[in-house]
Amino acid sequence: MAETLGINVTQSHQTLPEGVKLPIYMDNHATTPLDPRVLKAMMPYLTGIFGNAASRNHSFGWEAEQGVEKAREQIARLIGATAKEIVFTSGATESTNLALKGVAEMYKERGNHIITQVTEHKATLDTCKRLEKSGFRVTFLPVQADGLVDIEDLKNAIITEGPDKTILVSIMYANNEIGVIQPVQAIGKLCHEKGIIFHCDAVQAVGKIPVNVLTDNIDLMSISGHKIYGPKGVGALYVRRRNPRVQLAEQINGGGHERGMRSGTLNVPGIVGLGAACEICQNEMAAEAVRELELRDYLRAKLEKALDYVQVNGNMEHHLPGNLNMSFVYVEGESLLMGINDIAVSSGSACTSATLEPSYVLKALGLGDDVAHSSIRFGLGRFNTKAEVDYVSDKIINVVQHLRDLSPLYEMVKEGIDLSKIEWAAH
Ligand SMILES: *Cc1c(COP(=O)(O)O)cnc(C)c1O
C-alpha cells in the first residue's frame, strides 16, 4: 500500500546521520531494552548462583536470598519505602491484580465500592471489571480534556457510609499513552482522610520522575521491571506496613512466600535485575529527565514548525519527560505508520480482534475517531539520541506532507471549506 502511495519505505531518500541505525526504537512506554549494566548484575544469578532463595539450610539458598534482599533494598530506596514493604511478582499486571483483588477480598466487610478512572491501563480496568462480576460496585471516573482526573469528581464519587462504602481507589501515576501525571499526592491525601486504601499504578513514573510513597500518600503501588531497562516478567508491589497497615488476601496459593502474600519460587535473576535497574534510575534519573525533556521539546518544536494541523494530546505541564503524543490531522493513521516503518512508535489505534479501534485513552479526552487514528505516541528513552530525533522528525514531516498532498480533505480545508458543514453521501 505504501508503494502505491509513492512512498518508498525501504530506501529512504534521507542519508543516515552519523550513529543512527535503523530501525529506530522510540516506543519506550511499551517496553525498554535491558541496560547492559543490569544484565551484568544478573549474569552470576543465571549461571553459578542458581540456589532457591527459599532454601534456608545451605549456602546455595543463602547466596540467592542475599541477591533478593539487596534488590528489595534497592527498590525500596528508590520509592521511599522499607524493604519489608516490597512483594515480588511476575510484573505490574500481577501486582495490580494482587492489589485490587487482595484488598477487595480482605476488606469486603468494610464496604463494596471501588473507584478508578477510564484511562487506566487494562491491567487495572480488566481487574475492576472482574471485581464487578463478583459483586463489587466500581466507579470509572472520566478525565478532563487534558487527561487529568478532577479531584472534585473523585470527592463526589466517594461513598462514606452503608454497604456501598468506598474501600479502594486505584488511579495511576503517569499515563502510558499520553504521559500525563495525575495529582497523586492530593488523591492519596483525600483517600487517607476518608480511610480509603489508595493503589497507584506507577509503572511509567517510577525511575523516570521522583516517586515517594510516603509524601505521595500511596498504600499500594505497582512497579514493572521491563519499563525501567530491567528484565521482563518481573515486578513488585509496594504494600504499606504503617499508617495504615494494609493487608491483602493472597491470590496465588502455595508455600507462603513473600510473607504469605505471593507464593511461588522467586525469579532470582529477574529480581536482581529489577533491583539493579532501580539503583541506576536512582542515580541517573534527574539528569536523564532533563535530557529526555530537551529531546522531547526539540521533536515537538520541529514537527510544529514544519506542519500545520497538528496537536499535542494531554496536559503538557504535568507530563513525563520522555512522552509526546501528537495527532496529525487529515492524515490516515495506518498510511502514516506504513510510511515510517523503519521507526518503532505506537499509533492511536489498538488492534482488537482484527479491527482497528481508536485508542480508548484518546477517546476519553474527547478526540474524534479520525484524530485518534492519526495520532502517534513517541516514547523517548535512555538510549535515544538527538540524531535519532532528527531522523524521526524529518521522516514524519516528509510522510505527513506527502500524504496530505494526496488528501482531498486536507485540500478542502486549505481552501477554507468547513468540513463540519458538508453533508456526505451515505455509503
Ligand atoms: C506496561 C504497563 C503495565 C503492565 O506491566 P507488565 O509488567 O507488563 O505486566 C501496567 N501499567 C502500565 C501503566 C504500564 O505501562
- Reported as a single tens digit per residue, the pLDDT across 244-269 is 999 999 999 998 999 999 999 999 99
Q: How high does pLDDT run on average in the chain?
A: 93
pLDDT at 173: 98
pLDDT at 3: 44
Q: Ligand 1 centroid vs 227 CA: distance in angstroms?
A: 8
Q: Is 196 in the pocket of ligand 1 (CB under 6 A)?
A: no
Q: Is 227 in the pocket of ligand 1 (CB under 6 A)?
A: yes
Q: Judge contact between 96 and 199, C-beta under 8 A.
A: yes
Q: What is the mean pLDDT of residues 378-398?
A: 97
Domain map of the chain by residue range?
24-34+285-421, 36-280
Instruction: Band the pLDDT of 25: cuts 50, 70, 90.
Output: very high
For residues 241, 245, 250 and 255, what is the CA-based torsion angle, rounded to 10 degrees?
Answer: 40
Q: Is 235 in the pocket of ligand 1 (CB under 6 A)?
A: yes
Just give the CATH number of 36-280. 3.40.640.10
Q: Is 123 in the pocket of ligand 1 (CB under 6 A)?
A: yes
pLDDT at 426: 57
Please give the full DSSP string across 107-122, using - where no structure is assigned. Answer: TTTT--EEEEETTS-H
**Which atom of ligand 1 is closest in space to residue 94's alpha carbon?**
9
Q: For residue 281, indicate whether it is catalytic.
A: no
DSSP three-state, residue 69: helix
Q: Is 220 in the pocket of ligand 1 (CB under 6 A)?
A: no
Distance CA 345, CA 30 (A): 9
Q: What is the mean pLDDT of residues 331-341?
A: 91
Q: Is 371 in the pocket of ligand 1 (CB under 6 A)?
A: no
Distance CA 241, CA 359 (A): 37
Q: Ligand 1 centroid vs 409 CA: distance in angstroms?
A: 37
Q: Ligand 1 centroid vs 203 CA: distance in angstroms?
A: 6
Q: Ligand 1 centroid vs 102 CA: distance in angstroms?
A: 18
Instruction: Band the pLDDT of 354: cuts 50, 70, 90.
Output: low
pLDDT at 407: 86
Q: How far apart are the first and last CA of the chain?
A: 23
For a ligand 1 pocket test, name from 116, 208, 224, 360 the mutation site with the most ligand atoms within 8 angstroms of its C-beta. Answer: 224
Residue 6 has pLDDT above 80, yes or no: no
* Contacting residues for 117 by C-beta, under 8 A, at least 6 apart: 140, 141, 142, 143, 149, 171, 172
Q: Which grid cell sits at 284?
A: 541517573
DSSP three-state, residue 71: helix
Q: Which grid cell sits at 404?
A: 496530505
Just give the CATH number of 24-34+285-421. 3.90.1150.10
**Which atom of ligand 1 is closest in space to residue 225's alpha carbon?**
7
Query: Could you tell me the pTM of the whole model?
Result: 0.94
Q: Ligand 1 centroid vs 55 CA: distance in angstroms?
A: 31
Residue 281, amino acid? C
pLDDT at 424: 66
Distance CA 55, CA 60 (A): 8
Q: Which residue has the higher pLDDT, 115 or 415?
A: 115
Q: What is the mean pLDDT of residues 1-26?
A: 67
Instruction: Band the pLDDT of 409: cuts 50, 70, 90.
Output: confident
Percent of the chain with pLDDT over 90: 86
